[in-house]
Amino acid sequence: MTRQYLVGELSLILGELQTAPMDELALRDVARLRWEAETTPPATLACVVTRAVELTDRVCWGSLARGETAAFIRELAICAELGEFGVCAGFLEEGRTSSETGHRA
């Protein structure tokens, strides 16, 4: 995969997440991660992906805690897409949590 493709795909996934219902803090975090994905060197994408997975996990738990089933299902699908992207791009290892990958937020 080319670096431009990786940046574009990550930006697209984060854009999907930006449209999901969430609190203002999470929306700012998603916007910041998307900006970082689009403007920082491609070598930093692994850290951006790791932080995005952690953020998406937090957003999913928030929706679940509030009983927002439809939002949870949508966010979970985005989280799965992000995880699959991270594994296919070599940024994440399949079956390992972000804390086990060695990437720091």
Reported confidence tier of residue 98, pLDDT bands at 50, 70, 90: very low
For residue 99, the number of C-alpha atoms closer than 13 Å in the C-beta half-sphere is: 1
Mark out the alpha helices in the chain (DSSP H runs). 3-18, 24-39, 45-65, 69-88, 98-101
Digit-coded pLDDT (tens) for 15-67:
999 998 888 999 999 999 999 999 988 788 999 999 999 999 999 999 999 99
Cβ-proximal residues to 29 (8 Å cutoff; 6+ apart), any chain: 55
Q: pLDDT at position 104, please?
A: 38
Q: pLDDT at position 96, please?
A: 54
Q: Give the domain ranges of the chain.
A: 3-93
DSSP code, position 68: -
pTM higher than 0.75, yes or no? yes
For helices 24-39 and 3-18, the axis angle rounded to 10 degrees is 170
Which of 1-5, 26-30, 38-42, 81-85 has the weakest average pLDDT? 1-5
